[in-house]
């Protein structure tokens, strides 16, 4: 997540409908406090054109069964198997001697952990975008706020072992602050810090969502407002006076709960924790989208006014899933920071939120596995390509996004479903031809 | 109804209630006015008087509008930028009544439905369900829906990615809260109810089909089925047979007739043949006003109606 803000430019205007009128009111509606924020690649084309924001997903027959349980037996087996691979097999391979061909080197563990955090954020994003049709371009804000919450605890736990040997974080000493600002109080207690890391982004999402959804702001307009929100927050956090380390953010962490963050064992532990949190997130989201609430959410995405006329207060449903998604993102951020060792305002830059949306789109929105696959694939490719061909990455990312938008509306994962649905429809066609059933 | 008001314009509503309440077959009291129906000028003048009197003496809010009245639309005016889409319309629907609303394009039929369901706010007037406590024009769409008003849109609106079964499940009467639906499981009784609805609309074989892939006519039926599952007190149905084939239309007419009796049904329709096949009582709207009201055969003879609508 450290690409310059120019990320979207190579892939701009992937809107599949050339007939869409030029963004009529959309740019004008951008709030005043966000000057030239990089414009969203996903939202251009005006409210009436079928952009990626409001383009309906193709109807798939794959999910047409009657859903009641979270998973069938086979489903649970797959989830548990994947969790075991991530949380047990990878650590075991890490402890293997270096000569072992499949051994995973120490440096790869925090990298994998970072990817899994991105995957969690992508799943959370999909909950609001893929399932509820709200394209947020500000989700990196919640991720970063969760990270700041954890970062504040890590700063407090340095306790006199920084450069200045002060009880205060180094940057405060540098700014000649004499005492801790009130909002830093309590962050030397881990449970409090963790609770804040989740609750503050949750509360922000709740308040923001309440106003946005109650005013029935939708589609591109909502996307623009969310992007403005994260941009405003970034500008705020860049200020030294805000008290979060300004430009440099929070870094130079020493230990977490007394364990050194430099020790490979701590890194491995954090990785395992992340893998477990990811599994938990996955199952939780599966429960949510599989419940009746999940069906209401999809209904909101497809025909919101009809949902209202059925007696559901769609605003409440959107608010619930929006807040849940923000908190899951914050959890991912809180796990991310101790593994990468730094959190600074550039995590909130608009391009990060856009990249998050791209992972979801490439992996396949409206599925839970898709965003995870998308996040892992694209970040893996990014790690490799930015090392091998540094200048090519943005072009590759852009063209992947354009191609997926044009040819794979359900993303990489949708490809599997597409093949399966085609086979199934061929089978039913053959069956109905034989006994003349309804088409 | 309107005549009664003009006779005693100062206290319009209690008058109507007196006339209505002691009559057990109250429907007769309301179904009477072919004379007023054929006389639009009197409608205009009386309503002007009564709306003036309204402001002076509203009856107490807790007075029931009468045990047999399901929906009461009172002096409703809606204007869009000065254009009056609905101009002082008063409409009273009895419980179990099947009412057709007809009228040429732009008569305000769909706007009337929009106001009743909370999509559009009126400039003036009120809509009451059951009693004078619930003025629907102050409530939100979903509050109105949970009070018991269901609506079928002009274009069939179903949830395309949900199966036929799930569409009915979502519409099924029950708690609508966020956390209730997070932990809710459908009970046996609910599943039986859904099966019953699917049978009524004849889509039980397509229950696992995504609704977006249904044929047009099937979508219309599914939407009616969703209304059945909601079990509303009042059903508003906008052009149910638009784009249907003849057999589909006959089947829909049958469906409409089974619906009426148990609940109040309002049908807005262009297709006169369909209206003739289902209607007992018809209200004709023209340029936002009630032009005539009465049984279909009388409406067909009404010279004003013939002039503005049927004749053309």
pLDDT in tens, chain B (312 residues): 334 333 333 334 444 333 333 333 333 333 333 433 333 333 333 333 344 334 434 444 444 556 678 888 888 888 888 888 888 888 888 888 888 898 887 788 888 988 998 888 888 888 888 766 678 888 888 888 888 888 888 788 899 999 999 999 999 888 888 888 888 888 888 889 999 889 888 888 888 889 999 988 888 889 888 988 888 888 898 888 877 888 888 888 888 877 777 788 898 887 778 888 887 788 988 888 888 888 888 888 888 888 876 554
Enumerate the residues of chain B whose CB falls inside 8 A of the CB of residue A323. none
Give the closest of B119, B151, B160 to A302, CB-based: B160
Neighbours of B242 (CB within 10 A): 16
Give the closest of B150, B170, B176 to A313, CB-based: B176
CA angle at residue B61 from B55 to B62, to 5 degrees? 160
Q: Please check whether residue A288 is in contact with residue A321, taking contact to mean a CB–CB distance below 8 angstroms.
A: yes
A296/B181 CB distance under 8 A? yes
Predicted pLDDT at A190: 93
Q: Give the distance from residue A281's alpha carbon to the nearest chain B alpha carbon, in angstroms.
A: 16
B121 CB-near residues (< 8 Å, 6+ apart): B115, B137
Q: Give the distance from residue B209's alpha carbon to the nearest chain A alpha carbon, in angstroms.
A: 7
Look at strands A250-251 and B83-94 and give their pairing: unpaired
The span from the CA of B301 to the CA of B38, in Å, is: 10
Q: Please check whether residue B297 is in contact with residue B304, taking contact to mean a CB–CB distance below 8 angstroms.
A: no
The span from the CA of A371 to the CA of B167, in Å, is: 27
A313/B210 CB distance under 8 A? no
Annotate A110-121 with b (16+ C-beta within 10 A) or e (fewer): bbbbbbbbbbbb
Strand runs labelled E in chain B: 69-80, 83-94, 98-102, 124-129, 149-152, 234-238, 264-268, 281-286, 289-295
**A33-47, A421-435, B99-113: segment of lowest average pLDDT:** A33-47
Give the closest of B140, B170, B183 to A310, CB-based: B170
pTM over 0.80: no
The span from the CA of A54 to the CA of A43, in Å, is: 9
Enumerate the residues of chain B whose CB falls inside 8 A of the CB of residue A57. 161
Read off the DSSP letter of residue A87. Answer: I
Give the closest of A66, A309, A438 to B117, CB-based: A309
Read off the tokens for B79.
């204007």
Q: CB of A58 within 8 Å of any CB in chain B?
A: no
CATH 1.10.569.10 fits B2-310, yes or no: no
State how far Cα B192 lies from the chain centre.
28
A309/B162 CB distance under 8 A? no
The span from the CA of A210 to the CA of A208, in Å, is: 5
Predicted pLDDT at A319: 96
Domain limits of chain B? 2-310
Predicted pLDDT at A127: 94
């Amino acid at each position: 997540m450290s690409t310059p803000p120019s990320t979207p430019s190579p892939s701009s205007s992937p809107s599949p409908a050339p007939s869409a009128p030029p963004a009529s009111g959309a740019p004008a509606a951008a709030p005043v406090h966000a000057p030239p924020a990089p414009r969203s690649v996903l939202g251009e084309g005006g409210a009436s054109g079928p952009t990626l924001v409001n383009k309906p997903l193709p109807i798939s027959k794959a999910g047409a069964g009657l859903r009641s349980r979270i998973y069938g037996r086979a489903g649970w087996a797959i989830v548990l198997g994947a969790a075991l691979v991530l949380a047990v097999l990878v650590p075991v391979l890490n402890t293997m001697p270096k000569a072992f061909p499949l051994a995973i080197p120490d440096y790869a563990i925090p990298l994998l952990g970072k990817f899994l955090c991105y995957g969690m954020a992508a799943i959370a994003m999909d909950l609001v975008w893929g399932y509820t049709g709200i394209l947020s371009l500000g989700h990196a804000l919640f991720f970063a706020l969760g990270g700041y919450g954890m970062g504040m605890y890590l700063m407090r736990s340095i306790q006199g072992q920084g450069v200045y040997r002060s009880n205060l974080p180094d940057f405060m000493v540098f700014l000649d602050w004499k005492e801790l600002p009130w909002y830093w109080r309590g962050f030397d207690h881990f449970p409090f810090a963790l609770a804040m890391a989740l609750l503050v982004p949750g509360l922000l999402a709740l308040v923001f969502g309440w106003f946005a959804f109650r005013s029935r702001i939708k589609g591109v307009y909502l996307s623009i407002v969310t992007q403005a929100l994260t941009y405003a927050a970034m500008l705020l956090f860049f200020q030294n006076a805000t008290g979060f380390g300004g430009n440099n953010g929070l870094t130079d962490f020493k230990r977490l709960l007394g364990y050194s963050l430099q020790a490979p064992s701590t890194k491995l532990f954090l990785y395992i924790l992340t893998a477990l949190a990811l599994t938990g997130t996955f199952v939780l989201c599966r429960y949510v989208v599989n419940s009746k609430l999940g069906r209401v959410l999809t209904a909101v995405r497809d025909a919101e006014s009809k949902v209202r006329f059925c007696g559901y207060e769609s605003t409440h449903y959107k608010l619930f899933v929006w807040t849940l998604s923000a908190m899951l993102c914050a959890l991912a951020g809180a796990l991310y920071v101790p593994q990468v060792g730094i959190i600074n305002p550039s995590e909130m830059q608009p391009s990060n939120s856009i990249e998050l949306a791209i992972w979801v789109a490439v992996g396949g929105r409206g599925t839970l596995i898709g965003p995870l696959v998308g996040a892992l694939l694209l970040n893996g490719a990014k790690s490799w390509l930015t090392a091998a061909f540094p200048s090519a990455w943005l072009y590759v990312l852009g063209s992947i996004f354009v191609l997926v938008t044009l040819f794979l509306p359900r993303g990489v994962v949708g490809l599997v479903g597409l093949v399966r649905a085609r086979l199934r429809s061929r089978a039913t066609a053959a069956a109905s031809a034989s006994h003349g059933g309804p088409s | 109804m309107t005549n009664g008001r003009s006779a005693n314009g100062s206290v319009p509503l209690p008058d109507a209630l007196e006339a209505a309440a002691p009559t057990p077959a109250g429907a007769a009291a309301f179904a009477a006015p072919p004379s007023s129906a054929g006389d639009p000028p009197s409608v205009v003048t009386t309503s002007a008087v009564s709306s003036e009197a309204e402001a002076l003496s509203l009856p107490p809010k807790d007075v029931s509008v009468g045990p047999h009245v399901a929906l009461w639309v009172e002096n409703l005016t809606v204007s869009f930028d000065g254009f009056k889409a609905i101009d002082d319309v008063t409409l009273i629907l009895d419980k179990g009544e099947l009412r057709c609303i007809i009228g040429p394009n732009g008569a305000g039929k769909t706007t009337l439905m929009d106001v009743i369901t909370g999509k559009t706010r009126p400039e003036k007037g009120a809509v009451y369900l059951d009693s004078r406590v619930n003025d629907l024009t102050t409530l939100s769409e979903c509050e109105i829906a949970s009070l018991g008003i269901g609506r079928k849109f002009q274009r069939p609106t179903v949830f395309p990615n949900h199966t036929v079964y799930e569409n009915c499940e979502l519409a099924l009467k029950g708690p609508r809260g966020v956390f209730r639906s997070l932990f809710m499981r459908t009970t046996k009784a609910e599943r039986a109810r859904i099966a019953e609805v699917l049978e009524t609309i004849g889509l039980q074989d397509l229950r696992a089909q995504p609704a977006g892939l249904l044929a047009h006519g099937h979508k219309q039926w599914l939407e009616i089925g969703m209304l059945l599952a909601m079990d509303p007190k009042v059903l508003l149905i906008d052009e149910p047979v638009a784009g249907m084939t003849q057999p589909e239309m006959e089947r829909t007419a049958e469906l409409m007739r089974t619906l009426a009796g148990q609940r109040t049904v309002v049908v807005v329709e262009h297709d006169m043949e369909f209206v003739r096949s289902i209607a007992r009582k018809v209200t004709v709207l023209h340029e936002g006003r009630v032009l005539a009201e009465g049984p279909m055969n009388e409406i067909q003879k009404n010279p004003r109606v013939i002039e503005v609508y049927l004749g053309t």
